[in-house]
Amino acid sequence: MDAFDLTDLLRSWPYEPGRVNARRITGRDGRPKLQVRIDLGVLQMEMEGRPDAHRPEGFESLLIYQQDRLERYIQQSGGREGFVLSPEECRTLREEAVQYYHRYVGMFALGDFAAVIRDTSRNLELFDLCRDFAATQDDRTVLEQFRPYVIMMRVRGEAEEVIAQGQPKQALPVIDRGLNEIKSVFEQTGHADAFDQANEVQLLRGMRDALVPKLPVSQRMELHERLRAAIDAENYELAAILRDELRVLRE
């Protein structure tokens, strides 16, 4: 039998459509690894640093290398104006972001929410870098279509982490802030009318609606106080969200 044939491995760990099937293993180097079963095989990733363990230019990742390059440029020139990412640099950054995407999806399935927050946050930094410094308009905008999804995954990680710590009420403002952040993205890209129907928004609202009835009734007063404060501050978007939460509590 060919030692490189993966048939037995794949048969022992069948692919399950519609489910993220992930597991931790210990590699031959003694370090933990993440494996994710996909339809055509298995992805294996490092748990820390760049998922493929490559260290471009001696840095942990291309993002950190480019951030360091930007910092050195600012120190030398006194500002950010003139700093540019070439199309090739943007392409390799996007490829790196895909690696981190696969990892944070797998880590979410395993319940490692701190890792989800870490990897989604770094991908949002990468989006910002390309948006602000890419040489071409296409490279500045191509990742923006994925920003609501990455924000949603980060918010889910943050909310699940505080819930796991026994603080479910802390998840509500996390979700509210995430919804406001996603709404700003839709407004800035000229698609404000698509906000309410977005899958990311529906998922976070569903998470919030499922969470609110589980809160102690004593927290109703706290929600009323937050509602009054939002109205006093003329933050009517937050006020509408809080009214929805109070409505769910009454049901």
Tens digits of residue pLDDT in 73-122: 999 999 999 999 999 999 999 999 999 999 999 999 999 999 999 999 99
Between 161-175, 189-203, 221-235, the lowest mean confidence (pLDDT) is in 221-235
- Place 232 in a pLDDT band, splitting at 50, 70 and 90: confident
- Place 220 in a pLDDT band, splitting at 50, 70 and 90: low
Asked whether residue 52 is domain-assigned, the answer is no
**Cα(175)–Cα(155) distance, rounded to whole angstroms?**
6
Asked whether residue 18 is domain-assigned, the answer is no
Asked whether residue 158 is domain-assigned, the answer is no
**Cα(108)–Cα(13) distance, rounded to whole angstroms?**
19
Q: Please say if the pLDDT value at position 242 is more than 90.
A: no
Look up the domain containing 209 and give its range.
167-251
CB atoms within 10 A of CB 216: 9
Is residue 185 within 8 Å of residue 217, measured between CB atoms? no
Asked whether residue 240 is domain-assigned, the answer is yes
Is residue 167 within 8 Å of residue 118, measured between CB atoms? no
- Place 236 in a pLDDT band, splitting at 50, 70 and 90: confident
- Token pair for 64: 């950190």
Asked whether residue 80 is domain-assigned, the answer is no
**pLDDT > 70 fraction of the chain, expressed in percent and rounded:** 92
- pLDDT at residue 224 in the model: 66
- Burial of 162 by CB count in 10 Å (0-12 exposed, 13-18 middle, 19+ buried)? middle
Q: What is the pTM of this model?
A: 0.84
Residue range 143-158: mean pLDDT, rounded: 97
Asked whether residue 181 is domain-assigned, the answer is yes
- Place 215 in a pLDDT band, splitting at 50, 70 and 90: low
Asked whether residue 192 is domain-assigned, the answer is yes
Vertex 86: Cα angle to 81 and 87 (nearest 5): 135
Structural domain total, the chain: 1
Asked whether residue 251 is domain-assigned, the answer is yes
Is residue 120 within 8 Å of residue 150, measured between CB atoms? yes
